[in-house]
Amino acid sequence: MGPDGKKLLNIIILGFGFMFMFTAFQTCGNIEQTVIKSFNSTEFHGSGYTSMAIIYGVFSASNLIAPSVVTVIGPQVSMFLSGILYSAYIAMFIQPFTWSFYTASVLVGIAAAVLWTAQGNVLAINSSDSTIGRNSGIFWSLLQFSLFFGNLYIYCAWHGHERITDKDRRTVFISLTVISLVGCFLFFLIRKPEPESSSRSEVTESLLQDESLNGSTDSSSQPSLCSQALDAFVKAGKISVTREMLLLSVSIGYTGLELTFYSGVYGTCIGAMTRFGSDAKSLIGISGICIGVGEILGGGVFGLLNKNNRFGRNPVVLLGLITHFVAFFLIFLNIASDAPLAPEGGTDLKAFITPSVGVALLCSFLLGLGDSCFNTQLLSIIGFTFRDDSAPAFAVFKFIQSIMAAVAFFYSNYLLLHWQLLILVIAGFMGSVSFFAADWVAESRKRDSDYDSI
């Protein structure tokens, strides 16, 4: 197998590892608020929204140190250890306690920062300028298969159940924990790509790649671990104030807000709609499957075909914005405004039309499709613009995204649905405009670089 083939195989293994891990974790996040409402114990007083707010709040703060951690212990070990903490969070639901619930939330927040920084590094060092779009699409599609498989399992396990029993909960979360652990061990199959002497970025990335995937070399010829960690932290700070990252920050922030909405709030809304019938709880799983189908389709079409896209990234982001606006409008018409805050018994209110399961599932698909449009293009532009410093750049990306997700999970405890949708509409418009500007700056610099090389 040639060097390009090995790099592609690494991307596929990376995608499968994340697919297994997030089959467990995203399914957990999608159902945990519903599960918590059905607990038969008065000793537990946690909130799924609060837990997610803690996770993403700690996630955002931990991104300040994540590049240093990845530099010191390497992306492979970083992803494995982070995956173990993800698995522990899921396993906590087998026998939940309030203290363990929130403690695990803090630990997962730390793990998430390290995991996604390492993922961005592995993606970048196994890609070139011509393959970063394709590889982003492959990774994103494989990752989003997690929504399909996890939620299909939830639908089959809970179909016809009006109430989630303790036995139902334990069976589901034991299975999800095992699935997550499988993903952790897949990361050890990733191999070091062969360096190309003509590639300047490969040399720059060697600090992370050589020590992480192939063990440490002669310490006398390498900077100390402390200096490496400090250098990664300083690079992240410098990248965060570049013109490109400042422009992209608005678009990244929007993906954090809509991540909260489709991964937590919308499923809760569907489960609370008693007008959908007694099977509303199992519809959470079908909704997640529809989101996954949209994510996979978007990742495949706009990622794998990126190389042949002569119009660039902006039309894809514009399509994502239009798709989301259509979804938000239909959700506004179809779902009761108090659905995010409804008690276990659900809500009997209706919005502006007779509640339709078909419309609700169509909106799920559109949310997934629009999200894939934004995220594949953000992965592509960040990997392209900051390829020489991929780990710090992706840490900044996740810092911004996670802090906005934490904000969204916090206000989801208090705001009615129509106010949440209004915030998403405003943020989506501003994020798209800022992305267009950032892409123009990136392409201008590329043209200037090409001219200089003549």
In a domain, 88, yes or no: yes
Residue 21 sits in a domain whose CATH number is 1.20.1250.20
Quote the pLDDT of residue 212.
44
Give the integer Cα–Cα distance in Å for 125 and 342. 46
Residues 165 and 292 in one domain: no
How many CA atoms lie within 13 Å of 283's alpha carbon, on the beta-carbon side? 25
Contact predicate 48/36, CB 8 Å: yes
Q: How far is CA 92 from the centre of its chain?
A: 21
Q: Assess if residue 235 is contained within a domain.
A: no
* The pLDDT of residue 68: 84
Give yes or no: residues 297 and 419 share one domain.
Answer: yes
Both 269 and 120 in a single domain?
Answer: no
Q: Are residues 294 and 416 in the same domain?
A: yes
pTM here?
Answer: 0.73
Residue 153 domain flag: yes
Burial class (CB in 10 A: 0-12, 13-18, 19+), 122: buried
Q: What tokens were used for 384?
A: 């392209």
From the CB of residue 81, how many other CB atoms can be counted at a distance below 10 Å? 17
Give me the domain span that covers residue 80: 1-191
Answer yes or no: is 215 within a domain.
Answer: no
For residue 261, the one-letter residue type is: F
307 domain residue, yes or no: yes
273 backbone dihedrals φ, ψ, rounded to 5°: -80, 95
For residue range 111-154, what is the model confidence (pLDDT) as tens digits?
Answer: 998 998 899 888 888 888 778 778 877 887 888 788 778 778 87
Contact between 370 and 324 (Cβ < 8 Å): yes
Query: 3-state class of 96 per DSSP?
Result: coil
Domain count across the chain: 2
pLDDT at 200 (0 to 100): 41
- CB within 8 Å of 295: residues ≥ 6 apart: 140, 141, 143, 144, 147, 368, 369, 371, 372
Same domain for 183 and 246, yes or no, is: no
For residue 277, tell me if it sits in a domain: yes
Q: Are residues 382 and 249 in the same domain?
A: yes
Asked if 248 and 155 sit in the same domain, the reply is no
**Residues of the chain under the 70 pLDDT cut:** 1, 39-42, 160-163, 195-226, 228-229, 274-282, 303-311, 344-345, 445-454
Contacts of 210 (CB under 8 A, 6+ apart): 192, 217
C-alpha distance from residue 21 to each of 84, 175, 178, 334 (Å): 10, 12, 9, 33
If asked whether residues 185 and 248 sit together in one domain, one would say no
Decide: helix, strand or coil at residue 347: strand
For residues 117 and 264, membership in a common domain is answered with no
* Cα atoms found within 13 Å of the Cα of residue 24, Cβ hemisphere only: 29
288: buried, middle or exposed (CB in 10 Å: 19+, 13-18, 0-12)?
buried
Q: Which of 191, 223, 254 is the last residue of a domain?
A: 191
d(CA 284, CA 291) in angstroms, rounded, equals 11
**CA quadruple 432, 288, 404, 319: dihedral, nearest 10:** 0
Question: Is the same domain home to 305 and 415?
Answer: yes
